[in-house]
Amino acid sequence: MSVQPAFGEAQQRLREARSICVLTGAGMSAESGIPTFRDTLTGLWSRFDPAQLASPEGFRADPALVWRWYAERRDGVRRAQPNAGHRALAAFEQRHPGRLSVVSQNVDDLHQRAGNAGTVRLHGDILADQWLDPCPRGLSCDTDWAAPTEPPRCSECGNLVRPAVVWFGEPLPYRAFEAAERAAQSCQVMLVVGTSGAVWPAAGLAALARHRGAFVVIVNPHPSEIDHEAHLLLPGTAAGVLPALLDPL
C-alpha cells in the first residue's frame, strides 16, 4: 500500500478506535535533541563499554564515573523540549479523554511535560533517584537525605544513590510493565512510534496487541525489527507524522 492510502486508513482506524495504545521509543526523544543510548557513548565516553556505564556491576566498580555520565545525560534531558510529536499526542488526549494510553521506553519526561501525565515508563525515570541496595536496617529513607557526595550515599550505612532507570540485567518495573500489557491487550489500535523494536520485552507489546485483535501502525523513518507485526507502515519521524495524523482527529 502506498503512503497516502495507508495514511488515510491509519487516520480512519484512529478515528473509530475507542482505545489507542501508543508505544514510543528513542527516536521520539531524539527529535528533541536527546541522543539515543548508543549515541551518548561518544567523545570521552566512547572508550567505555555500555554495560560499564549502565549496569549494577559497573556502578559498583566505579560509582563516580557512572554518576558523572548520568549527570551529563540529565542535563541534556532538562534542556530538551517536547517536540511536535509529543505535543500532538498530548493534544489528542486532551480532546479525547480516556481513549489514549502512552507507554514509553524513554527515561526522559518529555511526554509528561507535553501533557501526557499518565505515561507509563517502562525503563524508569532518569531525573529520579533510588537507593542501590535495600536499606540494611529496613528503613524507608528518602534519597534526599543522603550525604551530598558523588554519588550521594547514606551517612549511616553507606548505601549509594543511583539513577532510577532500568540497567542491563535488571527486570522492568513490575507495575509499569503490567500496565503496559493491559494497555496493549485492550487497545483497538496500537501506534508504535520511533522504536527500532530491538529492546525486549517492550518490543513484544506490538505482537501482543495484534494477537488480541488490535490494528498495528508503525511510524518510523527506518525499518524496524517488528515491522512484520504492523498492518500499516508510515515512514517518517514522530514530529513529522504525528501532527498530520492526529491533529485533524
Structure-derived torsion over alpha carbons of residues 123, 104, 85, 43, reported in degrees to the nearest 10:
20
- Active-site position among 86, 111, 123, 228: 123
- According to DSSP H, which parts of the chain are helical? 3-16, 26-30, 50-53, 56-61, 63-79, 84-95, 110-114, 174-186, 205-211, 238-246
Residues 117 and 183 in one domain: yes
Report the chain's mean pLDDT, rounded to a whole number: 93
Residues 235 and 158 in one domain: no
Residues 106 and 191 in one domain: yes
CB atoms within 10 A of CB 240: 17
Closest by CA to 178, choosing from 186, 167, 168, 170, is: 186
Residues 237 and 143 in one domain: no
Name the 3-class secondary structure at 45.
helix
Q: Bridge partners of 164?
A: 125
Q: Cα separation of 176 and 153, whole Å?
A: 27
Residues 194 and 207 in one domain: yes
pLDDT at residue 44 above 60? no
Q: 72-88, pLDDT tens digit by residue? A: 999 999 999 999 999 99
Q: Does the pTM of the predicted model rise above 0.85?
A: yes
Task: State which of 115, 137, 165 marks the end of a domain.
Answer: 165
Return the CATH number at 105: 3.40.50.1220
Q: 113-156, pLDDT tens digit by residue? A: 999 999 999 999 999 999 999 988 877 889 998 999 999 999 88
Residues 177 and 243 in one domain: yes
Residues 189 and 227 in one domain: yes
- The total of structural domains in the chain comes to 2
Residues 154 and 65 in one domain: yes
Residues 97 and 21 in one domain: yes
Return the CATH number at 56: 3.30.1600
Residues 48 and 58 in one domain: yes
Contacts of 172 (CB under 8 A, 6+ apart): 122, 123, 166, 201, 202
Is residue 123 among the annotated active site residues?
A: yes
Residues 134 and 217 in one domain: no
Parent domain of 91: 1-33+81-123+172-249
Q: Is residue 114 exposed (0-12), middle (13-18) or buried (19+ Cβ within 10 Å)?
A: buried
Q: Cα separation of 237 and 227, whole Å?
A: 15
Residues 207 and 142 in one domain: no
Q: Cα separation of 35 and 41, whole Å?
A: 9
